[in-house]
Amino acid sequence: MNALDIESVWKYYGDFPALRDIKLRIERGSTVALLGRNGAGKTTLLKIIAGLSGASKGSVKIMGEDARRETTRRRIGVLGHAISLYDELSAMENLTLFGKLYALADPRKRAEEMLERIGLSRVRDGLVREFSRGMRQRLAVGRVFLHDPEVLLLDEPFTALDDRAIAVLQALLREGHAQGRTIILSTHQLREALELATHVALIQRGQLVFEGPRTQEMADDPAYIYRTYGEK
Amino acid sequence: MLYLRQVFTIAAKDLRSELRTKEALNSSFAFSMVILVLFSFAFDPSSEQLHEISGGLLWLVYSFASALSLNRGFARELENDCLDALVASPVPVSALFLGKAVANYALLMAVEMVGFLVFGLLYDVQAAHYFWPVLLVIALGTWAMVVVGTMFSAVTVNLRMREMMLPIIIYPLLLPALMAAMTTTTDLLNGAPFGPNLIFLRVLAAVDLIYTLLSMIFIEFVLVG
């Protein structure tokens, strides 16, 4: 069974087709770099996969099930453009909250473990609004990994991260890949993404124009994929 | 059981956030007090006229205070895109809605209870005689306001003019509930027996039930599409 089956997905905003007939199959354990220029449709596609938005036509199955099923959502971790954390709650309260929402056996213990892992246990009781941008980003990364998701959907995960947060995220993604998790990340940071990716998908004006394994040429020259498959 | 735990988790989170920022609480509380004090100067507390409009006056204050408070329901999820994380979580969207409604209800009831005590003092109402019957009317009427307000705060959450749009949308929908609550409250505060007003309590209970069920059915469509 594939981790992800996207069947002829279309998405319209009014009359404008933001996604056009996207067909994509992603095997379990793959790390897919979803590439494309601004406005190509990467975020729209990730939102549909995450069940945050409905497709106008077509279907998305995660591990063979509908993305909006509760059992499916339990298996997904989503990191969007923003941190999705509450400024007026502490780091510990934020992670415990999401631990409870994902019905973890011991949300507090898991939150403590994750705070240790992302290097924020020292400030566990500090309010998120008092954190630096890098600390907030690390906490957001911790939130996504908190419930050990099998499928990770990351939208521009490296954007605005400081060095330490990038290191934490890369370590968690490598670890996740080694554990057989499926990772789909949209990004403009080609070098970081192609270092991690096993597969590449390129979206252009809402259409999937390339999908396949990441080759050594792509890793050596991140612009290669745009030069070869992108718009001239 | 898990569903109720999720409702409680969302409600507890909203209450904790609100008690730390006090954004909705301060505005609705201050508004209620100002209106009650201003009207106490406008009307003679001992006049017959005031007794005739007492229920209407109280619910006027409650309904405006509720619009101020309920606007924050889903708007607080916009900061840092928290709504996406909640919708992506395995919590049923209806549980998310109910959790928010419960938190809004607790906050609004607190404001209303203080408002009712101040109303009793300023308008010379012997509230102790009618406290429990009036409390029942307030509890049912407030749930109607909360459930409609929370639902439409989700509908209007992405609008720039949401503070203005919410009252425009919810007041027409709340007319049956507000009319029933006003009539019953006025009667009870004027010493009328509970029996003849039972029909209005049934109207309030029916409105509560219908709007709650409709909101739980349509909230997924509103938040996910």
B181-193: pLDDT as tens digits: 999 999 888 888 8
Q: How confident is the model at residue B73 (pLDDT cuts 50, 70, 90)?
A: confident
Three-state secondary structure call for residue B89:
coil
Map residue A29 onto helix, strand or coil.
coil
* Phi, psi at A150, each rounded to 5°: -80, -30
pLDDT for B46 beyond 80: no
Burial of B71 (0-12, 13-18, 19+ CB in 10 A): buried
Residue B190 and residue B51 in contact, taking contact as beta carbons nearer than 8 Å: yes
Stated pTM of the model: 0.90
Q: How far apart are CA B43 and CA A8, in angstroms?
A: 68
pLDDT interval class at A43 (50, 70, 90): very high
Q: Which of B13, B15, B83, B221 to mutate to test binding with chain A, by most A CBs within 10 Å of its CB? A: B13
Q: Write down the pLDDT at residue A47.
A: 93
Does A82 touch chain B if contact means CB atoms closer than 8 Å?
yes
Band (B72; pLDDT cuts 50, 70, 90): confident
Query: Which DSSP string do the residues of B3-42 spell out, in sequence order?
Result: HHHHHHHHHHHHHHHHHHH-HHHHHHHHHHHHHHHHHHHH
Question: Does the CB of B1 have a partner CB in chain A at under 8 Å?
Answer: no
Backbone angle region of A186, left / alpha / beta, with phi > 0 → left and psi within -120 to 50 → alpha: beta
Residues of chain B contacting A13 with CB distance shorter than 8 Å: none
Q: Shortest Cα distance from A216 to chain B (angstroms)?
A: 35
B224 vs A: CB within 8 A? yes
**Pairwise CA distance, residues B91 & B96, whole Å:** 7
Please state, in angstroms and rounded to a whole number, the distance separating the CA atoms of residues B63 and B144. Answer: 11
Is residue A183 within 8 A of residue A196, CB to CB? The reply is: yes
Which whole number is the average pLDDT over A155-179?
85
Cβ separation of A100 and B87 shorter than 8 Å? no
* CA-based nearest residue in chain A for residue B19: A88
ipTM: 0.88
Is A73's Cβ below 8 Å from some Cβ in B?
yes
Q: What's the whole-number mean pLDDT along residues B11-25? A: 93
pLDDT of residue B123: 83
Q: In the predicted model, what is the mean pLDDT of chain A?
A: 90
Q: Tell me the average pLDDT of chain B.
A: 90
